[in-house]
Amino acid sequence: MMAPTLENSTESPPSLATLAPIQAVLFDVDGTLCDSDPLHYYAFREMLLEIGYNGGVPVDEEWFIKTIAGKHNDDIASALFPDDQERGLKFCDEKEAMFRRLVKDQLKPIDGLYKVKKWIEDRGLKRAAVTNAPRLNAELMIEILGLKGFFDVIIIGSECERAKPYPDPYLKALELLKVSKDHTFIFEDSFSGITAGVAAEMPVVGLATRNPPHVLMEAKPAFLIKDYEDSKLWTALEEIDKKSGATTTRV
């Protein structure tokens, strides 16, 4: 999968400083902590090809972004097999098993992830992973990335009343962390995830990892970044530090 191009803007991003003092930072997992979408795409493409889906024509990236990216498996199953939900769920379970085999050797963190991790740790902020991925997937990816001890809690969409794009998973994270939405922000990479965060009334920093920036902007993130090295992000974090009275060194 080709990564989208995020045009550089000379405009300052909307400020996150109004959140100071920051209490927590919430992260999606797929595409936000790690560049996992190419592995999901490969697994779906190969498995759908095996069963002759789409007349035996391999699905393309545009189809993947529209139908799969960021969505919960219940919704994916319905999209793939609208007349046979049980078959769809079984297919998704088998695809997730294939993904877990692939991920063990091929998972890579988003650039700058460990820098933003240190920024959060140095300020003693609470943190949660909030994802529509199955728990087995989420925990495996977090462990491979060396983040097992980083998150205070892992919220799984299927374990909430409603998964993303509804706000329930993010609201559950606030509840378990005992923090306020007025002092928390989110990192997300999908239209579905950004929609959920905005519905939970928190600013969302969108990562244009694989999904087209114009699609992400329709969900109304605070601003978009290419990755965690992006200067727009560090400008925003410095503003938070200034308002909070914290000392920071530009990364």
For residues 160 and 85, membership in a common domain is answered with no
- The rounded distance, in Å, linking the Cα atoms of 65 and 67 is 6
Say if residues 154 and 138 touch (Cβ distance below 8 Å): yes
Domain boundary among 46, 74, 104: 104
Structural domain contains residue 7: no
What is the tens place of the pLDDT at every residue in 49-86?
A: 999 999 999 999 989 988 988 788 899 999 999 999 99
Structural domain contains residue 76: yes
Domain boundary among 75, 104, 133: 104
For residues 229 and 130, membership in a common domain is answered with yes
Structural domain contains residue 115: yes
What is the tens place of the pLDDT at every residue in 15-59?
A: 799 999 999 999 999 999 999 989 999 999 999 999 999 999 999
For residues 218 and 165, membership in a common domain is answered with yes
- The rounded distance, in Å, linking the Cα atoms of 148 and 199 is 28
Per annotation, catalytic residue among 28, 35, 168, 230: 28
Model pTM greater than 0.75?
yes
| Residue 28 falls in the annotated catalytic set | yes
CA proximity to 26, closest of 232, 164, 144? 164
Structural domain contains residue 2: no
Strand spans (E) along the chain: 24-27, 126-131, 153-156, 184-188, 204-207, 223-225
| Residue 93 falls in the annotated catalytic set | no
Which residue range(s) make up the domain with 77?
A: 36-104
Q: What domain count does the chain have?
A: 2
For residues 53 and 176, membership in a common domain is answered with no
Structural domain contains residue 42: yes
What is the tens place of the pLDDT at every residue in 194-244?
A: 999 999 999 999 999 888 999 999 999 999 999 999 999 999 999 999 998
Structural domain contains residue 191: yes
- The rounded distance, in Å, linking the Cα atoms of 66 and 37 is 13
Structural domain contains residue 6: no
